[in-house]
């Protein structure tokens, strides 16, 4: 399921649904701002950011992600939330 969502993040409707579902305050605005800075559409930026994390994450990041998924009622949503928290931190947080 996680792979399917990541594969479809380029779709603006999927990206919007994911942004809404993860419940991270200000996420849509952070995506839009970061996308504009890279001259990209928000869905394309979101997809690239998540895929980049998946391709470059350390073993420690993957262990943390598995732990988050194991404790969650909805493992896929929890994983996406954790990834987005890492790649698009709130102002004042380090990535």
In whole angstroms, how far apart are CA 44 and each of 8, 14, 16, 24, 31?
A: 10, 11, 12, 19, 10
- The pTM of this model reads 0.85
Per-residue exposure over 50-71, b if at least 16 CB sit within 10 Å of its own CB, e if not: bbebbeeeeeeeeeebeebbee
Higher local confidence (pLDDT), 91 or 23? 23
CA 7 to chain centre: 12
- At 91, is the pLDDT very low, low, confident or very high (cuts 50, 70, 90)? low
Report whether 6 contacts 50 (CB < 8 A): yes
pLDDT of the residue at 53: 95
pLDDT of the residue at 89: 81
């Amino acid at each position: 399921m996680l792979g399917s969502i990541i594969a479809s993040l380029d779709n603006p409707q999927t990206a919007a649904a994911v942004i809404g579902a993860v419940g991270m305050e200000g996420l849509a605005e952070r995506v839009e701002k970061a996308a504009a800075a890279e001259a990209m559409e928000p869905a394309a930026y979101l997809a690239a950011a998540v895929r980049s994390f998946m391709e470059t994450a350390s073993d420690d990041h993957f262990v943390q992600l598995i732990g988050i998924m194991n404790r969650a009622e909805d493992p896929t949503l929890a994983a996406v939330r954790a990834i987005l928290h890492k790649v698009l931190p709130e102002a004042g947080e380090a990535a």
